[in-house]
Amino acid sequence: MSDTLRIGVGFNGPRLSGNGGYVGGRLAELLGRDRAVEVTFRAPIPLEQPMTVERTAADRLLLRHGETLVCEAAESTLDELVPPGPPDDWAEVARRGRDGGSGSDSEFGTCIVCGRERAVGDGLRVLGEPGPGAGRSLSCYVAHPHHAEADGRIGFPLVWGTLDCPGAWAAQDPDDWRPALTGRMTAQIFERPRAGERCAVVGWRLGVDGRKLHSATALYAEDGRLLALARQLWIVLREGS
């Protein structure tokens, strides 16, 4: 089976390529909303270009742009991942929503997930920062009605997106920030946020192995419900690349 997928220009991460979390969510949705899916990114995701989605005999999805393998997706598990629990201080979550995220001086200022240049109701505006504490991040996300499906809950690929950028803030050392891209992301959504819900994304570092940074993220509703969970692998770019 093959189909066509096109990522609109507004669903970027870096300014000229697609956001990994959102694109991963598009593929995961094809495999089923009720399971954990692992997406491995092989090349930058082109915008406004037709890509083919091929389903293999092993029920693996391959996303190609021409002859280039962009990413692949398969069912996985997050059973071993134990989240740290929801934040205690929602006033601090709100502060992150005012002050956090990626600004105009960043390659990610227009990112669909974390870009501050994206207007409310346009971008997801998952705005956060590293901390509190080493190897942690905390972000604010307010689910906007413009992103809701007919059932009043946020679209599945967009929820995947909320789990992406906060993982980078947790994985990195704030005193030695190294440009990195998503190499792999595994996520599972248990419940999509309702439009208008205020949520928090908690990120935590899992480990560092040379140029490989490992982190995880959890999306919580304000009442403490765990809505979604993810694990990421980030690849630090080589100098000069």
Ranges of the chain with pLDDT below 50: none
**71, 19 Cβ separation under 8 angstroms:** no
Residue 235's nearest CA partner among 182, 199, 196, 193 is 182
**81, 218 Cβ separation under 8 angstroms:** no
> Which pLDDT value is given to residue 1?
53
Q: If you compute the radius of gyration of the chain from its CA atoms, what whole number of angstroms results?
A: 16
Structural domains of the chain, ranges and CATH numbers in brackets: 2-75 (3.10.129.10), 90-236 (3.10.129.10)
What would the pLDDT profile of 155-180 be if each residue is shown by its tens digit? 999 999 999 999 999 998 878 778 78
Element spanning 21, H or E:
helix 20-31
> Which pLDDT value is given to residue 241?
54
> Which pLDDT value is given to residue 240?
60
CA distances from 60 to 27, 57, 137 (A): 10, 7, 32
Query: Which residues are 137's β-sheet partners?
Result: 130, 203
Token output for 116: 């501050």
Backbone angles phi, psi at 228, to 5 degrees: -160, 160
The overall pTM is greater than 0.75? yes
